[in-house]
Structure 1
Amino acid sequence: MTRFLEGKTALVTGSVQGIGLAVAKALGSAGARVVVHGLASRDDGAAAEAAITEAGAPATRFYGTDLRDPDAIDALMDEVAIWGGPDILVNNAGIQKTVSLEAATRETWEMILAVNLSAAFHTMRRAMPGMGERGYGRVVNIASVHGLVASVEKAPYVASKFGLVGLSRVAALEYAAAGSKASGGVTVNCICPGWTETDILGPQIAARAAAHGGDRDAGIASLLSEKEPTGRLSDPSEIGALALWLCNPIAHNLTGTAIPVDGGWTTQ
């Protein structure tokens, strides 16, 4: 692995597990210092730091910032500024609640929008001016296939992810001319995973498994058969590998995209 991110700082929200941890490990393997984040215990944060360090990160720091609080996000960004500000920002933290539009409460709506969309706005607003000044920067927003297509009983989640794709495209346009091919430029892209083996998918898998006598594999197959022609779950490490490639200076001209990793879901 070429350590093309030596000297760079990456902030990855929601990086104590799942996709966020996989992305953080991938970035660390290429030499980036990694700011680790999550609503987790100090022990869980330390475990994530250890895994990212083992992957190759020269330094890590853990913060348990509540992304529903804009003031707390500002404080986090002030802390990251000690390392010179993030060269790479990965907005991965997200929450979901499956609920009908009729049954969704105001609190559910506001909580999901705050974490999945508003937090990305607050981090990007603080991080991107410095990226522009340095001539290199990468924002990788982990959206979802639900940033491209809708599903029933996910109105707040789908709205937040469609919004994240739109926010990313605006930012990509505003910073498109920053930097150069030589410096790597400043790019903003979304990755839109389909069914991925993460905790957020757990309740849906459990429900399907229950309908198949507790057979988890049968439950997964049932879930995938409705959406993904490949019939395969993605692994978080695959999303990490894609995020890492997007951070390579060679990807200077790839910006404003929403890349589905969805087994053909959105091709149909």
Structure 2
Amino acid sequence: MRGLNGKVVVITGGGGGIGSATCRRFAEEGARVVVADIDGEAAERVVDGIKSRGGEAIAMVVDLTDYAATGSGVARVEAEFGPIEILVNNAGWDLFIPFLKSEPGYWTKIIDINLRSVLNITKPVLASMVARGKGGRVVSLGSDAGRGGSSGESVYSACKAGIIALSKTLAREHARHGVTFNTVCPGVTETAMLESFMAAAGDKEKLRAAFTRAVPLGRLGRPDDLPGAILFLASDEAAFITGQVISVSGGLTMHG
């Protein structure tokens, strides 16, 4: 895709399923990849894989729920690797817990990981983009749970709806700076987080079968289904697209 070669891109949660697939695709397009993850070993594995194929990548080991640490990490990356031109907010976590069985401590953890982390890294990256005056791209991973709700995911759904609203608002605030904000919403996707979610819900295989039946295209999503939409929105091909939401869900949700 046009405009990705040589760009510095940060992918949060880059050591996980969707994150690592996205890191690899950016590297294939010639981008310089920053694999940001709290799990340093997972991040380094992705970095090593990219380098073994001739790509350029570094790890950014950071707890995104810590605002000060995140800001320091962004500053370090920009000093050592170059200005961040693309940010992909992908990190997230969830468990199946009906709202009345959940407790405030769990709410805090879900909000910190899924929403506060996005605020914590978007602010310093955006401030740098605005100061440089050369535009930028921010693509955030929402969820179809944030568009239509999802049983057992009340607080997670609220966070993902918040990401959608945040992206639309920042798209308006920073259009004059040439920074675009868009959201990609995965449907049910085969990741480690999905496995944990289904285990917490009970009968994993029964739930997997139910999810699969609900998808018009007849299967669950795979991590490799997501990077195409993410890279498109980060590329020059999407220069006139901002404030938009696209679901990658096999037709599970069809929003106008």
Q: TM-score, normalised by structure 2?
A: 0.90
Match of 2:210 among 195, 214, 222: 222
Per-residue deviation, residues 136-193 of structure 1 (Å, max 9, x unmatched): 31111011111201112211101110001111111111121224xxxxxx21111000
Q: For the Cα contact (< 8 Å) 2:95–2:197, is it kept in 1?
A: no
Shift of 1:36: 0.9
Q: For the Cα contact (< 8 Å) 1:192–1:258, is it kept in 2?
A: yes
Match of 1:188 among 166, 181, 194: 181
Shift of 1:115: 1.3
Structure 2 residue 192 is matched with structure 1 residue 199: yes
Per-residue deviation, residues 203-236 of structure 1 (Å, max 9, x unmatched): 355578947xxxx5x75332222x3222221221
Structure 2 residue 102 is matched with structure 1 residue 104: yes
Q: For the Cα contact (< 8 Å) 1:27–1:57, is it kept in 2?
A: no
- SS of residue in 1 equivalent to 2:92: coil
Structure 1 residues 106 and 55: CA distance shift in structure 2, 3 A: farther
CA distance in 1, matches of 2:187, 2:135: 29
The residue number in structure 2 matching 1:183 is none
Shift of 1:202: 0.7
Match of 1:238 among 208, 225, 236: 225
1:265 maps to amino acid: L
CA distance in 1, matches of 2:207, 2:103: 29
Q: Which of 86-95 and 32-41 deviates more?
A: 32-41
Q: For the Cα contact (< 8 Å) 1:29–1:56, is it kept in 2?
A: no
Q: For the Cα contact (< 8 Å) 1:92–1:142, is it kept in 2?
A: yes
Q: For the Cα contact (< 8 Å) 2:86–2:137, is it kept in 1?
A: yes
CA distance in 2, matches of 1:154, 1:70: 25
Q: For the Cα contact (< 8 Å) 1:228–1:264, is it kept in 2?
A: yes
Unaligned runs of 5+ in 2: none
Shift of 1:17: 2.1
CA distance in 2, matches of 1:265, 1:168: 23
* Length, aligned pairs only: 253
Structure 2 residue 63 is matched with structure 1 residue 66: yes
2:210 maps to amino acid: S
The residue number in structure 1 matching 2:240 is 253
Q: Give RMSD over aligned pairs.
A: 2.2
Structure 2 residue 77 is matched with structure 1 residue 84: no
1:199 maps to amino acid: A
Structure 1 residues 207 and 128: CA distance shift in structure 2, 3 A: closer
CA distance in 1, matches of 2:145, 2:37: 22
Q: For the Cα contact (< 8 Å) 1:30–1:57, is it kept in 2?
A: no
